[in-house]
Homo-oligomer: A and B are copies of this chain.
């Protein structure tokens, strides 16, 4: 293999257009809402190669509007994958050493079963007849995917934002299947303020007459205005005031002075409008409703009498909890609460708060200290797991 250039960049079987598998035909997925779902499809992507003893798998969990195209061009936008500078040969998530998996979440709109897909029972889009799913349901579906791939235990589960919620849920739902976990810029439960912002987004979508009570696909419509407004509101929360000030300040957009009108006079307005309108091209409005709802419902303490530590009791997983100083959506205090709970059960946990002014989105950006943290943690965990050392570059 090594002699035949060029080797496949991402290992055997890598397909930039992605993979799908339909699961649960015999054993449907028991969702938190009480509904049994099956069959269901999971669209996913892999990078690198699974080793002989299947011990080098890392599951990457994507955020609210993320997808499985971690390090491939996005099939709709053509943009580079959302973590492409983290994933690759010799990179932080080293495809020469690890087998990386990322699956579009249940309820998503990039190929996994969700409100946009066709309900086989009715031959129509699920739309609002799709059951309301939870973060635990997303993890259940991912576990089935791992079963399908023949992976018993993950070397690591990692994710930012909603990805962090999934990573934490993995350690609670399947403690024996997670050797290490890296929840980044996340929380153990969605805060009141975050629920409030999500509710604004949902109301914006539902206020769009094109939404048609959720049946827009059947009507051949797209609630693009409502979805764009939802994205704009959310996008502000992903940045910090400092970052917005540094990037845009009060700079005018292609003009020398204000127009005394409602055009996008300021660059920040033009930027936000662009964020809204491009989002509509790649995301499904109903998926946005379902996934925000799953985040709102997330609260690891609910089944443990409000005591977070109980959720982690007996855990053997090695944790690396990461937060960012300027993240006001998932502030450090939320990560610290996770760390305190883990400490209370004497878990193996590292905690790093990264100094940055880039806000919540920092986990998606080039943050050297963050990447150094990840490399260090993964190196230590790999050693404990008996995986080969990192190649010195």
Interface residues of A (CB under 8 A from B): 32-34, 128, 131-132, 189-193, 195-197, 199-200, 202-204, 206-209, 225-226, 228-229, 232-233, 236, 239, 241, 244-245, 247-250, 258, 260-262, 264-266, 268-269, 272-273, 276, 289, 293, 296-297, 299, 328, 331
Contact = CB atoms under 8 A, between A and B. Distances in A.
A192 B266 contact: yes
B32 A260 contact: yes
Nearest to A204: B229
A67 B289 CA distance: 36
Contact of A202 (B192, B260, B262, B268): B262
Nearest to A203: B229
Contact of A236 (B200, B241, B265, B331): B200
Nearest to A207: B225
A206 B190 CA distance: 30
A245 B208 contact: no
Contacts of A192: 241, 244-245, 247-250, 266, 268
A190 B241 CA distance: 12
Contacts of A328: 241, 328
A260 B132 contact: yes
Contacts of A293: 262
A36 to B, nearest CB: 14
B296 A199 contact: no
Give the copy number.
Answer: 2
A250 B219 CA distance: 36
Contacts of A297: 258
- List the 6 closest pairs (A to B, CB-CB), nearest first: A207-B225, A33-B260, A132-B260, A192-B244, A199-B269, A193-B241
Contacts of A233: 197, 200, 233
A153 to B, nearest CB: 31
B226 A207 contact: yes
Contact of A266 (B195, B264, B273): B195
Contacts of A244: 191-193, 196
B268 A199 contact: yes
Given A193-B245, A233-B233, A241-B191, A200 B262 contact: no
A200 B234 CA distance: 10
B296 A266 contact: yes
A262 B205 CA distance: 12
Nearest to A194: B241
Nearest to A197: B236
A5 to B, nearest CB: 49
A287 to B, nearest CB: 13
A34 B239 CA distance: 36
A272 B200 contact: yes
Q: Which of A189, A225, A264 has the most CB of B within 10 A?
A: A225
22 contacts: A32-B260, A191-B241, A191-B244, A192-B247, A195-B269, A196-B236, A196-B269, A196-B272, A197-B233, A197-B236, A199-B268, A200-B232, A200-B236, A202-B262, A203-B228, A203-B229, A203-B276, A206-B262, A207-B207, A207-B226, A262-B293, A266-B296
Contacts of A33: 260
Given A32-B260, A276-B203, A268 B229 contact: no
A232 B199 contact: yes
Given A192-B244, A196-B268, A203-B225, 10 more contacts: A34-B260, A190-B250, A191-B250, A197-B233, A199-B232, A203-B228, A206-B262, A207-B226, A258-B297, A262-B293
A229 B229 CA distance: 9
Contacts of A250: 189-192, 195, 299
Nearest to A133: B260
Contacts of A265: 296
